[in-house]
Amino acid sequence: MTRQSFLKGAFILMIAGFITKILGFINRIVMARILGEEGVGLYMMAVPTFILAITLTQIGLPVAIAKFVAEAEAVNDKQRVKKILTVSLAVTSVISIILTIGIMFLTPILAKTLLTDERTYYPLMAILPVVPVIAVSSVLRGYFQGKQNMKPSAYAQVLEQVVRITIIAICIQLFLPYGIEYAAAGAMLSAVLGEVASLLFLLTLFQREKHLSIRSGFFTTVKESKGTFYSLMDIALPTTGSRLIGSVSYFFEPIVVMQSLAIAGVAASVATQQYGILNGYAFPLLSLPAFITYALSTALVPSISEAMAKRQHKLVEHRLQQALRISLITGGWSVVILYVFASPVLTLMYGSDSATAFIQLLAPCFLFHYFQSPLTSVLQALNLARAAMMNTFIGAIVKLIVIFVLASRPEFQMMGVALAIAANIVTVTFLHYATVLKKITFTIYAKDYIFGGLAIGIAGAFGFYLHKYIIFSHSLGIQTLWEITLTTIVYIVLLFTFKLIRKEELSRLPIIRKLSFLK
C-alpha cells in the first residue's frame, strides 16, 4: 500500500467514525425520548453484556485476518486467503455457539441475582441473535481491510447506525404496551438488526469475489490448516488484551453498581433509573468530542513509529507535544460547554436535565480522557502495548473498588459511581504518561497548560455570566445556541491570545491553504 492510499484509507475510516458517532448520538436521543430514564437504565445494564459478547466472539481476529490476507494478496496466494477465512469462520462459529448457549443459561442468574432487577432479563435475551452475526461480519471486515479496501467496513459501520435509527422507534413502540422491560428489549433488538443489515451488506460485496469459494471443502480445509490457526491466534489474542480487559470491567460495572446501591438501601427500580441517567444521558455527551482525539491517535502511530525508527527523538517529543496541546484545546472547549450549559443542552436533547450533576462532576475529569487517546497511541508506537494493557487493567480494578466503597454509602449512592469513573480516567491517564516518560525524554511546557487553564476558566466565567444574566430569546434553543456561540468565540480568541493555536500550524491544514490561495 502506498503512503497516499494508506492515508486515504485512514481518512475514510475517520470520516465513517465521525458519522457513526453522530448517528449513534441521535440514536441515544431517540431512545431516551421514548423509553425514559428507567427504560434507558434497563437497556444500559444489558449493553456491557452486548459489548463483551462482541469482544469474545471477535477475539481480535479482524486485525489478524487483515494482516495475513494482506500478506497472501501480496503474493497472489488465493489458497492461503481461503484457509485464513475458513479457519477464522470455524473459530468464530464455535465461539458463537458456546456464547449463545452460555448467555441463554446464565441470563436468569445475571438478571435476578447479580443485577438485582429481573426486568433486565428481556434486553439481555435480545442480545442472543447478535452473536452469530458478529461471528461472520468480523471475518468479512478483516478480509476487506486485508485487501486494503476500507470502504466496505466504513459503509457497513454507517449503515448499521442508519438502520438502528430508522427502526428503533418502531421496535420500542411495538413492545412498549407490554411493559418498559419489553420496550428496552425492543431497543436492543434494533441494535441487533443494525448488525444484521451491516452483515448482509458485507456478504453482498463478498459474493462479488467470484474467484473465492469458502463453502467448497470447508471442513477439509479446516483440518489441514492447523498452522494457519496458530498463526492467527498468535496475533489475535495479544491484540484483544486491552479491549477484553475493558469489556470485562464494563461487564462487571453494572453488577457492582447494583449490588452496592442495594447495600445503600436504594430500590432496584430507582437504581436502574439512576444508572440510565448516568450511562444513557451523561456519557454520550461527555464522549462526543472523543472523535477528535481518535483522529489524532490514528495519525500519531505511524508518525511516531517512523520517527523512532529513524532515531529522531526530538521529533517524537514534538509530535506528542502537538497532540497533547490539541487535546487540551478541544477538550477544554468541551469542558466549558458541558459544565456551563449542561442543563439546557440536556433539556433540549433528552427533555430532562437530571444528568446535570453527573456532567458537571465528570466534565473536568474528561479532559484527562481526551489526553488518554494520544498517550495510548504513543505507547503502541513505542511497542509498549502490553504496558498500556496493564495500565488499563489497574484502572479497571481501581474503578470497581471505588464503586463498591462509595456507591454502597447512602450519602454517595450513584454519585459514588461517577467519582469511581473519574478515578479510573485520571489513574489510567497518569499511568500512561508515566510509562511514556520511561521510554522517551519529555518536557512539560507548564506555560501551555497554565494558559490553557486560564482560557477554560475565563471562557467558562463568560459563559456562566451569559447564561445567568443575558436574555437573547425566550426560546431555550435559540438562547442556548447564542450562549454557546459567543462563549466559543471568546474561547477561540483566548487561544490565539495565549498562542495555544499557532498560525504556522494552521497554515499546514489543507482547508486553510486553499483559503489562503483563494485570497
CA separation for the pair 191, 184 (Å, rounded): 11
Q: Which helix (H) or strand (E) holds 342?
A: helix 342-350
Q: Tens-digit pLDDT profile for the chain (519 aa)? A: 444 344 455 556 667 667 877 888 888 888 988 999 999 999 999 999 999 999 999 888 887 888 888 888 778 878 888 888 888 888 899 999 999 999 999 999 999 999 999 999 999 999 999 999 998 999 998 888 788 777 888 888 889 989 998 999 999 999 999 999 999 999 999 999 999 999 999 999 888 865 666 656 555 666 666 777 788 888 777 767 778 888 999 999 999 999 999 999 999 999 999 999 999 999 988 987 776 666 666 566 656 666 777 777 787 777 788 888 888 998 999 999 999 999 999 999 998 999 999 999 999 999 999 888 888 878 877 778 788 889 989 999 999 999 999 999 999 999 999 999 999 999 999 999 999 888 887 777 888 899 999 999 999 999 999 999 999 888 999 999 999 999 999 999 999 999 888 766 565 554 445 555 444
**How confident is the model at residue 220, as a pLDDT?**
61
* Nine-digit cell string for 478: 435559540
Of 389, 366, 363, 394, the residue nearest 376 (C-alpha): 389
Q: Chain centroid to CA 71: how far?
A: 29
CA separation for the pair 244, 495 (Å, rounded): 39
At 30, the amino acid letter reads: V
Count Cβ atoms below 10 Å from residue 286 Cβ, excluding itself: 22
**How confident is the model at residue 87, as a pLDDT?**
87
Q: Chain centroid to CA 290: how far?
A: 8
Count Cβ atoms below 10 Å from residue 164 Cβ, excluding itself: 25
CA separation for the pair 352, 356 (Å, rounded): 9
CB of 183 closer than 8 Å to CB of 121:
no
CB of 482 closer than 8 Å to CB of 473:
yes
Q: How many Å is the maximal CA-CA distance in the chain?
A: 75
CA separation for the pair 311, 457 (Å, rounded): 39
**How confident is the model at residue 299, as a pLDDT?**
60
CB of 264 closer than 8 Å to CB of 409:
yes
* 3-class SS letters over 193-243: HHHHHHHHHHHHHHHCCCCCCCCCCHHHHHHCCHHHHHHHHHHHHHHCHHH
SS3 179: coil
CA separation for the pair 87, 416 (Å, rounded): 46
**How confident is the model at residue 213, as a pLDDT?**
61
Predicted TM-score (pTM) of the model is: 0.83
